[in-house]
């Protein structure tokens, strides 16, 4: 099966704004989605209570930004990047109601858009990196994340991951995650989710990503949470 193009992915998200605007449910297909959103935003608010510049790549409808602003006393500036203009419009509407800071909307592929280097205290990248395709994509992306951060800044990631071991991948993804999806709805729904992941996504293992972050220069990398084929982690510059 050929992987989805960016245009196909953009079209799917253009038509799914309402589902991605729900703070209470998050993305139902994502294990611990709401719990990780609380964990990551709690952590960012704790480490950067006076954050000035925040970048959210693949921001969707701005759930993480809204949740973070509920916990910050400062009025940070936000740069929001997404393939989908309807998602960006919704994110701007929701974020602008909670901060007096500037809001910059950037439509496009994160790897290609122009952003100021050394500017950001915090970068949020949730449920977006699995759309990268090959090792070169991952290297380019992690190098760019590093360049965009201030010294002492950090990137916070939550995403779909693979296991390095094929037997563990079969158990954790196909069997255990498959059971989770079936309980959400039914086996047909499980197969539907597996099909669009196969069509759209190219995840890498958690170990691969942590090692690559270290290789490109991050000096403090830590795991926040892992459950089945989803994990959250942070890397400091």
| pLDDT tens-place values along the chain, 237 residues long | 565 555 554 444 444 444 444 555 557 789 999 999 999 999 999 999 999 999 999 999 999 999 999 999 889 999 999 988 998 999 999 999 999 999 999 999 999 999 999 999 999 999 999 989 899 999 999 999 999 999 999 999 999 999 999 999 999 999 999 999 999 899 999 999 999 888 888 899 999 999 999 999 999 999 999 999 999 999 999
Helix (H) or strand (E) holding 14: helix 6-14
Tell me how long the chain is. Answer: 237
CA distance to 4, 61, 84, 94, per residue, from 10 (Å): 10, 13, 5, 20
Q: What angle do CA 231, 235, 237 make, to 5 degrees?
A: 170
Per-residue confidence (pLDDT) for residue 28, from 0 to 100: 78
Give the number of other CB atoms < 10 A from CB of residue 136: 9
Per-residue confidence (pLDDT) for residue 24, from 0 to 100: 56
**CA-to-CA distance for 130 and 182, rounded, in angstroms?**
22
pTM of the model: 0.90
Burial call 6-28: b when 16+ CB within 10 Å, e when fewer = eeebbeebeebbeebbebeebbe
Give the 3-state secondary structure of residue 223: strand
Per-residue confidence (pLDDT) for residue 200, from 0 to 100: 82
Phi, psi of 116 (to 5 degrees): -75, 125
**CA-to-CA distance for 55 and 81, rounded, in angstroms?**
8
**CA-to-CA distance for 92 and 78, rounded, in angstroms?**
9
């Amino acid at each position: 099966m050929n992987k989805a193009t960016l245009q196909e992915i953009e079209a799917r998200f253009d038509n799914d704004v309402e589902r991605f605007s729900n703070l209470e449910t998050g993305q139902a297909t994502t294990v611990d989605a709401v719990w990780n959103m609380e964990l990551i935003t709690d952590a960012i608010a704790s480490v950067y209570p006076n954050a000035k510049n925040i970048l959210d790549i693949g921001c969707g409808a701005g759930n993480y930004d809204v949740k973070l602003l509920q916990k910050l006393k400062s009025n940070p500036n936000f740069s929001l990047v997404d393939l989908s203009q309807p998602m960006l419009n919704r994110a701007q509407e929701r974020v602008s109601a909670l901060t007096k800071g500037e809001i910059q909307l950037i439509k496009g592929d994160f790897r290609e858009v122009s952003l100021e280097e050394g500017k950001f205290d915090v970068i949020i990248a949730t449920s977006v990196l699995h759309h990268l395709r090959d090792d070169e994509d991952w290297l380019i992306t992690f190098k760019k994340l590093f360049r965009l951060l201030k010294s002492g800044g950090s990137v916070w990631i939550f995403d779909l991951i693979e296991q390095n071991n094929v037997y563990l991948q079969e158990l954790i993804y196909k069997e255990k995650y498959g059971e989770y999806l079936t309980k959400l709805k039914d086996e047909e729904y499980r197969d539907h989710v597996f099909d669009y992941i196969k069509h759209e996504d190219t995840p890498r293992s958690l170990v691969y990503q942590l090692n690559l972050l270290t290789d490109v220069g991050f000096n403090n990398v830590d795991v926040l949470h892992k459950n089945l084929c989803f994990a959250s982690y942070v890397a400091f510059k």
